Amino acid sequence: MASKLFVGSLPYSTTDDQLQELFAQYGNVVSAKVIFDRDTNRSKGFGFVEFEDDAEAKAAIDALNESEVDGRKIIVNEARPREERPRRDFGGSSFRQR
């Protein structure tokens, strides 16, 4: 079973490849993704790493949580399931014509 980790407080310059390289020393990384803002195309300062094995993910949490990466103390923990949020409608369906 794959384990997905949340990685917060990343330096804004961190790339997917750098994130993968950082975590690969603890096991087989299935995916590593830095999250970018849709509008500005800039990093949001967090990402997700998925391991093939739960024990490898636990080792990465133990080793990297609160460690320093490029001058920033990162946060590493198990990712929580994504919450369903209501979609925001900016299309004008709530406006009435007069």
Residue 83 lies in a domain: no
Q: What angle do CA 56, 58, 60 make, to 5 degrees?
A: 70
- Containing structural domain, residue 37: 3-78
Banded model confidence at residue 86, pLDDT cuts 50, 70, 90 = confident
Question: For residue 92, what is the DSSP state?
Answer: S
| Size of the chain in residues | 98
Q: Specify the residue for token string 């603890």.
A: 26
Residue 9 lies in a domain: yes
Q: Are 54 and 23 in contact (CB under 8 A)?
A: no
Across 19-42, average pLDDT = 97
Q: How many domains, the chain?
A: 1
Residue 86 lies in a domain: no
Residue 35 lies in a domain: yes
CATH number reported for the structural domain that contains residue 47 in this entry: 3.30.70.330
Residue 73 lies in a domain: yes
What's the pTM?
A: 0.83
